[in-house]
Structures are given as C-alpha cells and as structure tokens.
C-alpha cells in the first residue's frame, strides 16, 4: 500500500471513466479489441486495490449508450467480453464479499447479456465488503430523464406533492439511489471531459485525470489517486 495514503481521509466511493483502450491498442499495432481485453485486467486491479484500502463503493463506466455507434464487430466483442467477465469473475466476487450492481437502461441489450447480468447480481447479492457498480448502456442525461418521468408519474398518481420536490426527491429516483455519491472521479487517458457520466452525482466529487490509458492503470495508480485525494481540501462551496 502507498505509504502516503492517509487512512483517515479515504473516499467512500470512487467512480472511474475507463478510457483509452483503443488508443492503447493502436499505439502497439494491435486491434482495438485487444485494448478492451487488457482493460478487463485493470478492472480486477482497481477492485482489488479498493478492497485492500477498505473503499466500499467502486463504479465503473463500462459501456455508454453512445457506444452503440461503434462498429458491430467491436460491439459484439464488448458484449461477449462482458458475458465472459461475469461468468469468470462471479465466484471471485462472492469469495471477496463483493455485491455486484448494474445501472443503465436495459433496452438495446440482448437477452443473453441481460440474463448474464441478472444471474451475476443474484449470486453476489449477499456481498457485504464492497459494492461494484457497472454502468452498462448508461448515460447520465438519460438517467435524469428517467428520474423526471418517475417523479411526474408519482405526482400524477398523488404520491408526491409537487411543492415538496427537492434535490433529495430527484436523488431518490436516480439509478444510484442506493449508493452514496462518488467522492473521487478518475478518468484515464488524459481526456478532460465527463462524457455524460454521473452528472448529478459528481457535483462535489474530486476530479483526477491521468494520462495513462485504462489498460495501463494498475493498483499503484489507484493508490496514488487515493493519496492525492487525501491531500485535497474539500470545501463543498465553503471557505
């Protein structure tokens, strides 16, 4: 473990935009799918590091709803990689006390992918040490649209008084209603944008961008990010 990490200033929730798989592969003369394959190892490294540090929540941006624009061959590989990950890692997640959750819309996902997700979630439901949240077919604007629709329906049904709607009302209707907001958002590969990820939830998160592509991101990189987080002065709008 990184000795510069302050155990009293750990984030409770880390969110990661896993970027750079394709560029990492291209820079090595490899097909893009090899970048995705290698990136799966970084998922394990990040989850292991969070477990060692005692960080209870890790959310990974696995597949955005904009990613459907990619070539069919790459999409088929990504969906197959997801099924393989869930099949191969579920027992490890159970052994390490990891509860698996998935956020995002299900429309567009094939029945076999949905079945693999549901089975993995069910098998890992008793995990009490960590929660791994995979954002799959996810977009934050779409999440907020879905929340507004739910609230509007509840108002229509008389379950919510329109004058009582506040920030907590919206938060309770987001996909992430059961998790704390991220304290630290990490983006790999040097891109300086949020890419429609947890826009509501990261309002006060600390941001850290690393030039390393996701397939290069290992345990020590996550330790370093947490160490830097511990040195930040989180004022939440105060002085």
The residue among 72 and 237 whose pLDDT is bigger is 72
Mean pLDDT within 58-78: 96
Check residue 238 and give its pLDDT: 64
Tell me what pLDDT residue 234 has.
82
Q: What is the pTM (predicted TM-score) of this model?
A: 0.95
Q: What is the pLDDT of residue 1?
A: 56
Catalytic, out of 6, 8, 67, 88: 67
Indicate if the pLDDT at residue 209 is higher than 60. Answer: yes
Residue 235: per-residue pLDDT: 76
Degrees, nearest 5: CA angle 232-235-238: 155
Q: Is the pLDDT of residue 221 over 60?
A: yes
The CATH code of domain 13-139+182-231 reads 3.40.1180.10
From the candidates 19, 181, 183, 221, give the one annotated as an active-site residue: 19
Query: Does 103 score more than 80 pLDDT?
Result: yes
pLDDT of 2: 67
Query: Is 181 labeled as catalytic in the residue annotation?
Result: no
- Does residue 41 have an active-site annotation? no
At 89, the pLDDT band (50, 70, 90 cuts) reads: very high
């Amino acid at each position: 473990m990184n000795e510069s990490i302050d155990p009293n200033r750990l984030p409770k929730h880390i969110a990661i935009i896993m970027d750079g798989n394709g560029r990492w592969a291209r820079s090595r003369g490899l097909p893009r799918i090899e970048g995705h394959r290698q990136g799966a190892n970084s998922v394990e490294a990040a989850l292991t590091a969070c477990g060692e540090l005692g960080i209870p929540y890790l959310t990974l941006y696995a597949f955005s709803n904009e990613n459907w624009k990619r070539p069919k061959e790459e999409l088929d590989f990504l969906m197959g990689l997801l099924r393989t990950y869930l099949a191969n890692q579920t027992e490890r997640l159970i052994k390490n006390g990891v509860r698996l959750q998935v956020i995002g819309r299900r429309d567009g996902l094939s029945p076999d992918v949905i079945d693999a997700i549901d089975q993995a979630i069910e098998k890992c439901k008793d995990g009490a040490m960590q929660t791994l949240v995979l954002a799959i077919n996810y977009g934050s604007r779409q999440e907020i649209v879905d929340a507004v629709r739910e609230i509007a329906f509840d108002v229509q049904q008389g379950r919510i008084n329109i004058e009582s709607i506040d920030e907590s009302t919206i938060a309770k209707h987001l996909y992430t209603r059961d998790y704390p907001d991220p304290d630290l958002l990490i983006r790999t590969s040097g891109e300086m944008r949020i890419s429609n990820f947890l826009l509501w939830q990261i309002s006060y998160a600390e941001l850290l961008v690393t030039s390393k592509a996701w397939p290069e991101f290992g345990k020590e990189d996550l330790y370093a990010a947490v160490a830097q987080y511990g040195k930040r002065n989180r004022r939440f709008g105060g002085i």
